[in-house]
Structure 1
Amino acid sequence: MADRPPAEVEVGPGLVRALLAEQCPVVDGIGPVSAMPVELVAQGWDNSMFRLGEDLAVRLPRRQLGAALLRNEQAWLGQVADRVDVPVPVPVFAGRPGAGYPWHWSVVPWIGGRAAGTVDRTDRRRLAEPLGRFVTQLAVPAPPDAPVNRFRGVPLAARDAVVDERLDLIRHPRTDDLRSVWDEARSAPAWDGPPLWLHGDLHPFNIIVDDSPLPRLRAVVDFGDMTSGDPACDLAAAWLVLDPEGRETFRHTVDAARGPGEDAWRRARGWALVMSTSMLADSDDDPVFARLGADIVDEVLVDR
Structure 2
Amino acid sequence: MTNSNPWDADWEVSAPLASSLIFRQFPRLSSMPIKLIGCGWDNVVFRVGDEYVFRFPRRNVAVELIKKEGVLLPMLAAFLTIPYPKPFFYGEPTNDYPFPFLGYTYVPGTLPKGLTDEQRASSAVALATFLKGLHAFPLQRAREHGIEHDHRNLLDIAQRKEKMQTFLSTLAVHISEEDRDAIANYLGQVVRDRIRPREVLLHGDLHVKNMLVDEAGQISGIIDWGDLNVGHPGADVSVAYSFLPPQARQSFFHAYGEVDEETKILARMMAVYIPMLLWMQAIDHKDEEVAEEARMTIRRALADE
Matched residue type, 1:253: A
Counterparts of residues 64-79 of structure 1 (less than 5 Å): 64-79=60-75
Deviations 1:18-65 (A, max 9, x none): 21233222xxxxxx2111100111121221111101111111112212
CA distance in 2, matches of 1:16, 1:62: 12
Cα contact 1:138–1:197 (8 A) shared by 2: yes
SS at match of 2:132: helix
Number of the residue aligned with 1:290: 291
SS at match of 2:96: coil
CA 1:293 to 1:4, structure 2 compared with 1: closer, same or farther past 3 Å? farther
Number of the residue aligned with 1:273: 272
Deviates more, 1:286-295 or 1:89-98: 286-295
Residue of structure 1 aligned with 2:221, choices 219, 228, 240: 219
CA distance in 2, matches of 1:152, 1:136: 22
Would you say how many aligned residue pairs link Structure 1 and Structure 2?
291
Deviations 1:93-152 (A, max 9, x none): 121212501211111011112122353343222111100111111113523442245336
Number of the residue aligned with 1:146: 147
Cα contact 1:153–1:200 (8 A) shared by 2: no
Q: CA deviation at 1:14?
A: 1.7
CA distance in 1, matches of 2:20, 2:212: 29
CA 1:81 to 1:270, structure 2 compared with 1: closer, same or farther past 3 Å? same
1:210 and 2:200 are equivalent in the alignment: no
TM-score by length of structure 2 reads 0.86
Number of the residue aligned with 2:249: 247
SS at match of 1:187: coil
Gaps of 5+ in 2: none
CA 1:152 to 1:240, structure 2 compared with 1: closer, same or farther past 3 Å? farther
Q: CA deviation at 1:77?
A: 1.1
Number of the residue aligned with 1:81: 77
SS at match of 1:94: strand
CA distance in 1, matches of 2:261, 2:98: 45
Deviations 1:132-177 (A, max 9, x none): 1111111135234422453364432342321121122222635454
Residue of structure 2 aligned with 1:100, choices 92, 96, 108: 96
1:13 and 2:10 are equivalent in the alignment: no
CA 1:84 to 1:49, structure 2 compared with 1: closer, same or farther past 3 Å? same
CA 1:103 to 1:288, structure 2 compared with 1: closer, same or farther past 3 Å? farther
SS at match of 1:282: helix
1:162 and 2:167 are equivalent in the alignment: no
Cα contact 1:153–1:231 (8 A) shared by 2: no
Deviations 1:181-212 (A, max 9, x none): 3355551861333x21111111133112222x
Cα contact 1:149–1:225 (8 A) shared by 2: no
SS at match of 1:57: strand
Matched residue type, 1:197: L
CA 1:99 to 1:51, structure 2 compared with 1: closer, same or farther past 3 Å? farther
Residue of structure 1 aligned with 2:187, choices 182, 191, 195: 182
Matched residue type, 2:105: P
Matched residue type, 1:116: P
Cα contact 2:109–2:212 (8 A) shared by 1: yes
CA distance in 1, matches of 2:149, 2:16: 33
Cα contact 2:149–2:231 (8 A) shared by 1: no
Q: Quick one: percent identity of the two aligned structures?
A: 25
CA distance in 2, matches of 1:204, 1:298: 14
Cα contact 1:184–1:266 (8 A) shared by 2: no
Matched residue type, 2:264: W
Number of the residue aligned with 1:57: 53
